[in-house]
Amino acid sequence: MAVEFKLPKIAEGVESGDVLEILVSVGDTLELEQEVMELETDKATVFVPSDVEGVITGINCDIGDTIAVGQVILSVEPAAAAAAEAPVESAPAVPATPVAEKPVETVQEPVVPVAPVAPVAPVPPVAPVVSKPEAAPVETAPGKKVVVAAGPAIRRFAREVGVDLQTIQGSGEHGRIVREDVLKVVREGSRQGGSSAKPSSGSQSDGYGPIHVEKMPKIRQTIAKKMHESWTTCPRVTNFDDADVTALEEIRQNSKKEYAAGGIKLTSMPFLVKAVAMALKSHPVINASIDLEQGQIIYKDYVNVGIAIDTERGLVVPSLREADKLGIPDVARQLGQMADNVRSGDFSIDDLRGGTFTISNLGAIGGTYSTPIINTPETAILLVGRSRKLPVVVGDEVKIRLMMPLSLSYDHRLIDGGAAARFLNEVIGYLEAPSRLLLAL
């Protein structure tokens, strides 16, 4: 008897997901822990493993569907049940043997009713009964979508460039599709003056010209909801200032080759993260959240700095845990690993949780000041712009200094302007005297 495989609980707070890829077909033999589909939930994509084994008899969702936790996604005939049913199928044929025993008894009589041995004929039908279930998947398999051999990153890359993996012959081991196979299709489409992407089923016109309509990705829906929540519940104020990072840049330039030899790219970001983490320890109100229903302020005794990373799928904010306890080399190493994991999709929903403060780096793209929106339930966010050389009065002289633009947005329900200014001043103090960061505990 077929059992229903339902979408399990993926992570705390996740109730549904959009189906990005179905990795199995009807007729496939399913194993325990085998990945059956890829889902986009919140800001992460996850693979759903099976907790049953057997033969898949039905798939109850399709690519693009939104499915909820507890919803039936597969029907599976358990392997144990299939094995147990096999003897039951042949059991009716057993009575045919006693029929053959009667002729044995009659053989002792003068009349030789050998004809009754004919009842043995029911034995041949047993073969079709056994073979029929095995043949069924073979008949349906050709009409089903073939599951291609490709890793999660390759599947995601193919979707982003609009390439159908079903049309590609993989050049990797055992026919596995690799990145170069997808790029080859894209290049061929470009040379032909067209596109290898699948045509949008939403192509239409709005009366003024052609348009195309696509379903909003789950990640963009999540970002939209979070931004609306922040905008409508959090009265935001933004302070702007600059940090003289001339000395910091000199240290960075003198150290980057040594870091590079160890496989670490040293940017100014690790210094900023460390400066923020140390300042948060001295300004707990900036590292807190509000519970208005209970009338409480929740002060976090840990410092987890969220780092906003720009990806092709949208803005993702993984959390750097206990940043105040890390040295500059550790921060630099973990930042590089986090960025690689996020952009390749190799991260979990838990990696995005637990932040107490967020840093957004606009300078990597360009721009100076902005008014970043707070990542609630956090109460503050710091945006760093692109550093640029400016004339600055130092003592009685005007000198050219490298200045880093900073924009601090904060929740005015909890944080007053004075508290925000003191916090930002301490961050600037660390950046302008980087030796303090190197010696900070």
Catalytic residues: 412
Residue whose tokens read 């509000």:
290
Residue (of 278, 320, 300, 276) closest to 414 by Cα position: 300
Structure tokens at 269: 């970001």
| Side-chain-side CA neighbours of residue 400 (13 Å) | 2
SS (H, E, C) 314-377: EEECCEECCHHHCCHHHHHHHHHHHHHHHHHCCCCHHHHCCCCEEEEECCCCCCCCCCCCCCCC
Structure tokens at 406: 């900073």
Measure the CA–CA gap between 336 and 334, rounded to whole angstroms.
5
User: Running DSSP on this structure, what letter comes out for residue 9?
Assistant: P
Q: What is the DSSP string of 266-331?
A: --SHHHHHHHHHHHHHH-GGGGEEEETTTTEEEE-SS--EEEEEEETTEEE--EETTGGG--HHHH
Task: Establish whether the linkage from the previous residue to 8 is cis, with ω within 30° of 0.
Answer: no
Nearest 5°: CA angle at 303, between 435 and 356? 125
Measure the CA–CA gap between 164 and 199, rounded to whole angstroms.
11
Rg from Cα positions in the chain: 32
Residue 273: Cβ-neighbour burial (10 angstroms; 0-12, 13-18, 19+)? buried
| 280 touches 332 (CB < 8 A) | no
Instruction: Give the SS3 label for residue 114.
Output: coil
Structure tokens at 211: 């348009």
Structure tokens at 36: 């059956």
CA dihedral of residues 63, 64, 68, 73 (deg, nearest 10): -10
Q: How far is CA 37 from each of CA 67, 261, 285, 438, rounded to the nearest angstrom?
A: 12, 40, 43, 46
